[in-house]
Every structure is written in structure tokens, then in C-alpha cells.
Structure 1
């Protein structure tokens, strides 16, 4: 049900977390369709190896990489500046990068590390790239969420507290934020020129997403995931379907799982909550007057 023969020649796609796991498989699928694919993550060594392997496996030499640390707003802004200065267009943004079990610390930007890596960094990246995406319509944004969002909570006063949440709670809160952000983004764009949809990869074996959690819990989780999980190749195909399928051209604000329009979190329909989240997020990532395309569009 995720099959589409769509070619993407001439299109440019960014895949965060594209050096391994699900992100790598999504990048590979898009590259096989002829897209120029840029993979992004923190580790330049892993990125180079992944780039070379992708070129070898797909026969597509138009694959690049750029380093970016979502835990640093300076790094995200540098990535956006480099991208807009060196690329002619951007058609697809896949926000796949995420982590669980990160240290319970504040970043250099004063935010909880898990919340920043999984949500605030993605918010900033996406917000800054919207004007560039609008130059290549119709373009698509695909935001990675997770089933853990259903047990997440929204607490604007304490989301970034240290010593308050378990690693599961931090993950859940950040993924709920991504899902609410996706819906609000689709409403604010209000256009078929740039669509935004989220996806739940379910659980996937043979990735490094569990590397940061305690070994006992990791072994148990790994056993469960291997028992019921989806192969990462299938999840990569599902993400690529959302990014490439013609029938997804005018679809926006939806949440997908197994390539199916899935039921979203009940808070996704709360207009006021989403608005507050948007405003708080813009404040915390320090969107400047020059970066604020909403205000600039008005004036």
C-alpha cells in the first residue's frame, strides 16, 4: 500500500537523521527515484560513510551531506544558511531525526536536551526553511512523531525542567509537541504549495535509537521491537510514499501510520493549545524580525 512509481528527478530533499536507520532508508528510497538528497546529522564521519554507501547502492551520485546538531540553535541556523546559499531549491523536508535517553541536562540554549533535539530544533529548522520551500511549490514537509505521544503531556512552564521527567516522559512530551506543531503548521501555511504531515514509524529493529537508554531496559525493549517491529526498509518506504506519492499532493495536517491516515492525538484539535505552543516555540527559539516570515508576509 506504500508503493508508488513516482520519479523525483530535479527535486531536492533533506533528510535529518539520514546517516543511519529509518532516515537512511528514506534517503535511499528518494535517491533511487532520482532526487538530489541531502542527509543531515551531527557526525560528519558517519555522514560521509552514509553518503558513499547511498551513492553505491542507488547509482545516484547527487547525494550530499551537511552537519547539523538539533541541540544547538546556532548549528541549525548555520545549516539553513548553508542550504539556502548552496542549493537552488528545496522540495522535500523530512524531519526524521530524534533521540531517546539523552542526558537530562540543559543545552547551550537553556532548554531540556531531549525537548530541543526532538522538537525545538525541528521547529526552528522548519520555520527557517519555509520561505525556501515556498520557492519550489508544491513542496512537502514530513514530520516524524511516535506512538509515545499518546502518553505525552503539555506543560509550558515545566517542559524544559531538569530532574522532572523520565526518559520515556521526555520522549512522549517531545513527540506530542511535534504532532501539535505539524497540525498548526499546516493551518498557518493554509496552502497546497507547502503541505505538512506527520508519521508514526511504530517500532523498528536494527537502529541505534535505543543506544542511550539503560542496558537492562534496552535489552527488553530490543526483544519486544524485534518481535513486533517493522523492518526499517519498510518504514523508509512509508516515509518516501508521503514525500513522493501523487495522491498526497494536496493532503496536509494529517497523521500517518503504515501509510494509512491514522487517528491523531485528541489535543491536535485544540486550536488554542496549538496557537500557544506555536507562540511559545517562536519565543524560545528566538525567531528574529528578519526570520519571521509570518510578520514579513503581513507587512
Structure 2
């Protein structure tokens, strides 16, 4: 089901979290198809090593890296500006970056760190890159979610609270926000040639996801993942399928798992909620008049 012979020569892709794990595997798969791939994360040493490995394995020398810290809105804006000024086009945006077990604290932007790294940063990056994605259409946005979303909740008056959510519920809330954002994004870019889909990678082996949680819980989690989890190469292949398969060029607003359309969260049909999420997210990340492409659209 995940097989495709699609060639991406001449296309440009950005993969967040592209220095390790499933993001790295997705970037490698896209590079093998001929795309120029920009991998992004906050660790320059890992980025350089990942770039070199992707180039060697794929034979593609159009691999670039950019520093990106989703825990800093300034970093996100700098990254987006760099891409917008250095690239003539952007055909694929894959948002896989995220983390669990982060400190329960506010960032310098006044946002909950867990929520910012796993949702607000992705929202801002996607919003800022949309003009380039539109001008490059047909283009695709693929957002990483998780099954945890089914137990998530959104309380806009409290989503940046400290001490309110535990390890599980904080991640669940972020993933629910990503999924609902993906659907609302689809509604707002209808007719532009840009598609927006989310995907659930299930459980992935050999990633850095559990590095921030306590050692005992980390060991238990790793054992569980090693038994049930997918190889990261398999998940990278799934992401690349969503990014490249010709038959998905016009498919949007869907949720995927194992390369199949999957049952999405029931709240995706609550248009008032997804609309409120969109506006609350713009306010949280401080979208300026210059950045607000929605307000600047000529009607």
C-alpha cells in the first residue's frame, strides 16, 4: 500500500525533526526520489551527520540543513524567513518534530513548553510557509499526530497552564490540536492546490522520543516499543508515500495510519471548535499584520 514509483526531481521538501528517527527516514526516502530536502532540528551536530548520511545513501547532493527550535518562536520565524528567501518553491512540508517528557514550564514566549514544541511551533511554521506552498502548488503538508489524540482535550483558557496536565494528557492535548489544525487548514486552503493531511506513525522503534522521561519509565517504554513498534524505516516510507504518491495529489483533510485513511477524531466535524482553535493559535503565537496572509488576501 505504501509503494510508489513517484519521482520528485525538481521538488523541494522541508522535514522537521529530520536529523533522527522517522523524520530522518522520511527525508532519506524523499532524497532518493530526487527532491531537494531541507532537514531541520535544533542540534547542528546531528543535522550535519544526518545530511552527510542522506547524501551518501541517496546519491543526492541537494540536501541542506537549517537550525530550528520549536521551543522558540524567534527560531521558527528565522527558519521560515530563511526558507522563504532562499527557496523559489516549496512543494512538501513534513512536520514530524516533537518531544515528550519536557519540563512543565513556560517558554520565553510565555507558552507552555510542551504545547509549544508539539503544536504552537508547528502551527507558526506552517502558517508562515503557506504563501510559498501556495505559489508552488500543487503542494502538500503532512502533520504528525498520534493515537493519544483520542483522549486529548482543548481548554483554550488553560492550555498554557503549568501543573495542570501529566505526561500523557499533555501529549494527548498537543496531538489533538495538531489533528484539528490540519483539518481547519484544509478548509482554509481549499482551491489553492495545497493539501493538508495528518498521520499516526503508531509506535516507532529507535527514536529519541523517550530521552526526556525518567529512566525507569523510559526502560519500560523502550521494551514495549521494541516488541510492538514499527521500524523507523517503515514509518519513513509511509510519510514519503503521503508526500509523493500521485494518487494523493488532491486528497486533503484526511488522517492516515499505515498508509490507509484512518478514523479521525470526532471533533474534526465541529467547525466552530476548529475555527476557534485556528484563531486562538494565531493569537498565541502572535501573528503580525505582515505575516497574516489571510488578512492580506485581495477579495
TM-score tier after normalising by the smaller chain length:
over 0.9
For residues 55 and 184 of structure 2, the distance between their equivalents in structure 1, rounded to whole angstroms, comes to 36
Compare 228-237 and 289-298 and name the one that shifted more. Answer: 289-298
| C-alpha contact (below 8 Å) 2:134/2:192 kept by paired residues | no
Once the two structures are superposed, what CA deviation does each residue of 1:74-111 show, in whole Å capped at 9, x if it has no partner? Answer: 00000011111111110000001011000111001000
Is 1:246 the counterpart of 2:246? The answer is yes
Superposed displacement of residue 192, structure 1: 5.4
Match runs of 1:2-151 below 5 Å:
2-151=2-151
What is the TM-score when the length of structure 2 is the normalising length?
A: 0.99
Gaps of 5+ in 2: none
For residues 156 and 111 of structure 2, the distance between their equivalents in structure 1, rounded to whole angstroms, comes to 12
The aligned residue for residue 195 of structure 1 is 195
Count of residues in Structure 1 that have an aligned counterpart in Structure 2: 299
Superposed displacement of residue 166, structure 1: 0.7
Superposed displacement of residue 191, structure 1: 2.1
Once the two structures are superposed, what CA deviation does each residue of 1:43-79 show, in whole Å capped at 9, x if it has no partner? Answer: 1111011101111111111100000101111000000
Superposed displacement of residue 190, structure 1: 0.8
Is 1:153 the counterpart of 2:153? The answer is yes
For residues 278 and 45 of structure 1, the distance between their equivalents in structure 2, rounded to whole angstroms, comes to 35
Is 1:224 the counterpart of 2:224? The answer is yes
| C-alpha contact (below 8 Å) 1:192/1:249 kept by paired residues | no
For residues 204 and 73 of structure 1, the distance between their equivalents in structure 2, rounded to whole angstroms, comes to 28
For residues 160 and 235 of structure 2, the distance between their equivalents in structure 1, rounded to whole angstroms, comes to 30
What is the TM-score when the length of structure 1 is the normalising length?
A: 0.99
RMSD: 0.8
Superposed displacement of residue 205, structure 1: 1.0
Once the two structures are superposed, what CA deviation does each residue of 1:228-280 show, in whole Å capped at 9, x if it has no partner? Answer: 11110010000000000001000000000000000001111110000100000
| C-alpha contact (below 8 Å) 1:192/1:250 kept by paired residues | no
For residues 90 and 253 of structure 1, the distance between their equivalents in structure 2, rounded to whole angstroms, comes to 20
Once the two structures are superposed, what CA deviation does each residue of 1:142-195 show, in whole Å capped at 9, x if it has no partner? Answer: 000011111111111111111111111111100000000000000010125100
| Structure 1 stretches of 4+ moved >3 Å | none
